[in-house]
Chain A
Amino acid sequence: MTRNNLIFVAFAAMVLLQLFVPAYMIVEQENVIKKGKAFKFRTAPIDPSDPFRGKYITLSFEDDRLLTADWQAWEAHEDAEVYLELETDSAGFARIRQVHLSPPAHTQDYFRATLYNVYEAHQHPGMGYLHFRFPFNRFYMEESKAGPAEQLYREAGRQPDSTEVYAVVYVRSGKAVVAEVMLNGLPIKEAVAAQQKEE
């Protein structure tokens, strides 16, 4: 093979790789959205920014802990990757059903997370909390809407009983994709747009 041909083969390989990796990312995420199950996670949005990917709201989840009696056995697994099996509570929100060290075989409703820390629950004698870090905590928004979204949440938060913010997350076999963030029954970008219109 001449040097020129070699360069063209290398170029073609490079082009294919550069197209394949983003395409694979898309297929992987689409798969979770199409075949996975949707769970609702109670959350609170905050507004930071990323230099390349734009503005997003950081989701801080309310139910990222599990109260358990065998908490001390988990202390050795701090910072480890774990698999969280989910179920839906009576109000329709996601709840951690069980923690596994390897992917469970009997269900697809689980995702991979990090066991952030383990600590004793003083209000529940003999029990302790397992605190997890979820792999999804960003929801990207149009730059003009990320700030107001946080503000809207804060203002709504003054009447806590009437406010409901949750993220719709598709979960399937270890993977999770945040599809939408809802504020009082409306997708958050629509809630912000409605608010901006009113002003």
Chain B
Amino acid sequence: MRNQLLKYLQELVQAQVISDQTAEDIQQYFARKQQASPNRSMMVFGILGALFVGLGILLILAHNWDHFSRATKTVIAFVPLLAGQLACGWTLLKHPQSASWREGSSTFLFLAIGSCISLISQIYNISGSMSSFVLCWMLLGLPLVYVMRSGMSSLFFLTGVTFYGWEVGYNFSGGHAPWLYLLLLALALPFYIQLLRKRPNSNFTYFHHWLLALSVVIVLGSFSGSQDHWMFVAYFALFALLYLYGQTAFFEQAKMVYNAPRLLGSLGSVVLMFIFSFYDMWKDVLGDQEWLFPLQRDVWIALLLSLAAAGLYFWLRRRAAENWEPNPMSWMLFFFIPTFVLGHFLPVVATIVMNLAIFLLGIYEIREGARDRELGTLNFGLLLISALIVCRFFDTDISFVLRGILFVLIGAGFFVANYRMLKAKKSSNPSTEQQHDPQ
């Protein structure tokens, strides 16, 4: 964009749109900006180089060279580790401020730790599970995040920790709640908070938003106990929490695609709403539950997350301007919970309520999109309505006649709304209407 702008400067000066001085100022502004920003391509190449070499060493060692003795293999196991440690030490001594050096050497060392412990497992035929191997690797790699201030190591750590949570929690041969995952996540948080404060708009921060949000969404399900129907509410609360977190000041300048919490939060909520727009869901899944509040672990998780979401909602509300109009997605949770309870007794009513909610949310998004001329929001609203139509059109639980009548009524509703909008527009601005109308 910068090059394009500079190309047009001359043209703009010649056309007398801007003065010579302004053109000069613009050029100087970009020159200063480039000097201030670190050399990003150097860092990317440094990280990629270390990543490939590290992964290559992992693969070469995994070959398991037969003709080396146990002693030789043991020595080889430590070579990449020591090399990585030397590189990190050198970086701290000579280039402590260079992000390329810090990220490159830490990336290599992080992978070298993995290759060292995997080679030792190989030499001694240690059978330990994948989760214990990854846990050992991540704990040994964690200090790199803070000592080397390495974003890449933090991303590795989060990935490994998520994998650990997944392995322990969803293991087919007897998974159990991965409580240690919570502690590991907490260990990664100080670095994330530091990123938020110091570099809210850097690529590393954006990657962290995505990875953290995905991680909790993936692992939450594994915390459910023997009863798990309240996990639906827990997930809805988690999505609400993510959505609200995406509304905080940290994301004010971030583009939508980088606002992972908001995107995942709204997507997750909508998917859950659609799941509960089916009558079968209420009747079969929730109808089978013996009682509503079994006070199992899932109820507590749902309660805790809902309280957190409520807390964040009211905190945002207190800090927002007086005319704050929160998106319905912000408070949909407080609507979902009573509907969820109601659904246990009156599944038909809950189904209708959920369908209406999606419909109204779609209309709201379309209206907002049209008003603010935001195509993304408008399309999101249209997508909601279209998906709802598709779901209900093929919904075999409702009779053809009833579906037919519903569709005709909704269509008629659209016509009426359109007609009234046009009428209102005409009465408020007759001159504009005349300009467009050749009659």
A and B: interacting chains: yes
CB of B417 to closest CB in A, whole Å: 56
Distance in angstroms between the alpha carbons of A145 and B100 in the assembled complex:
41
Query: Which has the most chain B C-beta neighbours within 10 Å: A25, A141, A143?
Result: A25
Mask: chain B, 116-146; 1 = CB below 8 Å from A; 0 = not: 1111111111110010010010001001101
Number of A-B contacts (CB under 8 A): 102
Q: Does A40 contact B (CB under 8 A)?
A: no
- A142 within 8 Å of B (CB atoms): yes
Cβ-defined contact, A137 with B127, below 8 A: yes
- B126:A29 contact, CB within 8 angstroms: yes
- Write the nearest CB–CB distance from B367 to chain A, whole angstroms: 50
Q: Which residues of B contact A1 (CB under 8 A)?
A: none
Q: Judge whether A13 is part of the interface by a CB distance below 8 angstroms.
A: yes
Q: Which of A18, A22, A53, A142 contacts B66 (CB 8 A)?
A: A142
CB distance from A145 to the nearest CB of B (A): 7
Report B90-122 CB contacts with A as 1/0, cut-off 8 Å.
001000100000000000010001111111111
Instruction: Report yes or no: A52 in contact with B140, Cβ–Cβ below 8 A.
Output: no
- Given A18-B113, A26-B120, A79-B174, A142-B65 contact (CB < 8 Å): yes
In the complex, A21 has a CB within 8 A of chain B? yes
Given contacts A11-B147, A13-B143, contact A143 B125 (CB under 8 A): no
Q: Could you tell me if B64 and A55 are in contact, using CB atoms closer than 8 angstroms?
A: yes
Which residue, of B89, B96, B127, B143, has the highest number of chain A Cβ atoms within 10 A? B127
Min distance, Cβ A178 to any Cβ of chain B, angstroms: 4
* Cβ–Cβ < 8 Å partners of B66 in chain A: 141-142, 145, 189
A113 to chain B, nearest CB (A): 11
A177 CB–B CB distance under 8 Å: yes
Of the stretches B74-82, B322-330, B396-404, the one at the interface is B74-82
Closest chain B residue to A145 by CB distance?
A: B66
CB-based contact A7/B62 at 8 Å: no
- Residue B88 lies at the interface, judged by CB distance under 8 Å to chain A: yes
Give Cα distance in the complex from A51 to B120, angstroms.
Answer: 15
A179 to B125, CA, bound (A): 8
Specify the chain B residue showing the minimal Cβ separation from A180: B125
Closest to B112 in A: A18
Contact, CB under 8 Å: A22 / B143: no
Q: What are the residues of chain A within 8 A of B174 when measuring CB–CB?
A: 79
Give CA–CA (A19, B136) in the complex, Å.
13
Q: Which residue of A lies closest to B77 (CB)?
A: A22
- B63 at interface by CB-CB < 8 Å: yes
Q: Which residues of A (7-55) have their CB < 8 Å from a CB of B? A: 7-8, 10-11, 13-15, 17-19, 21-22, 25-26, 29, 50-55
Q: Return A117 CB to nearest CB of chain B, in Å.
A: 11
**A136 adjacent to chain B (CB < 8 Å):** yes
A110 at the interface (CB under 8 A from B): no
Quick check: is A129 within 8 A (CB to CB) of the other chain?
no
Set of chain A residues within 8 Å of B130, measured between Cβ atoms:
50
Contact of A22 among B58, B96, B116 (CB under 8 A): B116
Q: How far is A138 from B125 in the complex, measured between Cα atoms in Å?
A: 6
Bound CA span A141–B122, Å: 8
* Contact between chains at B89 and A139 (CB < 8 Å): no
Q: From residue A58, how far is it (CB to closest CB) to chain B in Å?
A: 9
> Is B81 a contact partner of A18 (Cβ separation < 8 A)?
yes
Give complex CA distance A21, B78 in Å: 12
Return A122 CB to nearest CB of chain B, in Å: 25
CB B204 to nearest CB in A, in angstroms, measures: 20
- Looking across the interface, which residue of chain B has its beta carbon closest to that of A193? B66
A-facing residues in B12-47 (Cβ within 8 Å): none
**CB pair A14 B144 closer than 8 Å:** yes
B contact residues around A136 at 8 Å (CB): 125, 127
The distance in angstroms between the C-alpha atoms of A13 and B115, with both chains bound, is 20
Contact with B along A124-163 (1 / 0, CB 8 A): 0000000000011111111101000000000000000000
Contact in complex: B133, A52 (CB < 8 Å) = yes
Cα–Cα distance between A179 and B120 once the two chains are bound (Å)? 13
Residues of A within 8 A of B117 (CB): 21-22, 25
Min CB–CB distance A24 → chain B (angstroms): 10
Is B201 an interface residue when CB atoms closer than 8 A count as contact?
no
Whether B125 and A22, one on each chain, are in contact in the complex, defined by CB atoms closer than 8 angstroms, is no
- Using CB atoms, name the residue of chain B closest to A141: B64
Closest CB in chain A relative to B135 CB, distance in Å:
12
Contacts of A137 in B (CB 8 A): 127
Q: Which of B77, B127, B136, B147 contacts A138 (CB 8 A)?
A: B127
Does B339 touch A at the CB level, under 8 Å? no
Within 8 A of B (CB), among A48-73: 50-56
Minimum CB–CB distance for B26 against chain A, Å: 39
Task: For the complex, give the distance between the alpha carbons of A142 and B63 in Å.
Answer: 6
For residue A141, which residues in chain B have a CB less than 8 angstroms away from its CB?
A: 64, 66
Supply 12 further A-B pairs (C-beta < 8 A) apart from A8-B92, A11-B147: A7-B92, A10-B143, A10-B147, A17-B140, A25-B124, A136-B127, A138-B126, A142-B63, A142-B66, A143-B62, A145-B66, A177-B124
Which of A's residues lie within 8 Å of B, judged by CB? 7-8, 10-11, 13-15, 17-19, 21-22, 25-26, 29, 50-56, 79, 135-143, 145, 177-179, 189
Q: Which residues of B contact A (CB under 8 A)?
A: 58, 61-66, 74, 77-78, 81, 85, 88-89, 92, 96, 109, 113-127, 130, 133, 136, 140, 143-144, 146-147, 174
Complex A-B: 26 CB contacts under 8 Å: A8-B92, A10-B143, A13-B143, A14-B144, A18-B109, A18-B113, A25-B117, A26-B120, A29-B124, A50-B62, A52-B62, A52-B118, A52-B133, A53-B118, A53-B119, A53-B133, A54-B122, A55-B64, A56-B125, A135-B127, A138-B125, A140-B64, A142-B63, A142-B65, A143-B62, A143-B63
